[in-house]
Amino acid sequence: MLIGLCSDTHGDIEPLRAALAIFGRCGVEYIIHCGDVGGPAIFDEFVGRSFSFVWGNTDSADAATRAYLRTVNLDEPSEVPLRLELGGKRIAVYHGHERGFDTAAEKLNVDYIFHGHSHLQRDDHLGLVRIVNPGALHRARVKTVATLDLATDDLIFHEIEVL
């Protein structure tokens, strides 16, 4: 299963659209947004897609935003971290600012931890846990997203160019 990872759009729609085009060309089956989404215009781009996200430290998880998500049939995260099982792999998704994030790899029984927040790419292993930050689509010198093949563990970072 090929998944797409993105983070830190902060409402910047053009880089997100470029990222979604890359995901489409690569054959991504599921997209995970690691927080700091930036509002309804960004969420609109995920309508009809297999998609999960977490709230970032700049996101507004207020009643109006939650009501909006229900109207477009997008599920808000139910827990921190968001736990997923995709392609037979156990995944925890954080934004990266949450309490417990720094020790998650030691405490959680997962194969992967995905996060954003720092606006920097990351691909590390802590024991058997692979920790990935796809980079950022806003306020980054080089805007990036990532694709990960859960069957082969192949991770590719993709640079986003917006004219």
**What domains sit in the chain, N to C, each tagged with a CATH number?**
2-159 (3.60.21.10)
List, for residues 115-126, the tens digit of each pLDDT value. Answer: 999 999 999 999
* DSSP per-residue letters across 48-83: TS-EEE---TT----HHHHHHHHHTT-PPP-SSSEE
Rounded to whole angstroms, the Cα distance separating 21 from 64 reads 29
Which region, left, alpha or beta, applies to residue 117 given φ > 0 means left and ψ of -120 to 50 means alpha? left
pLDDT tens-digit profile, the chain (163 residues)? 999 999 999 999 999 999 999 999 999 999 999 999 999 999 999 999 999 999 999 998 899 999 999 999 999 998 999 999 999 999 999 999 999 999 999 999 999 999 999 999 999 999 999 999 999 999 999 999 999 999 999 999 999 998 6
pLDDT at 103: 94
Torsion sign, CA atoms 37, 28, 90, 125: negative
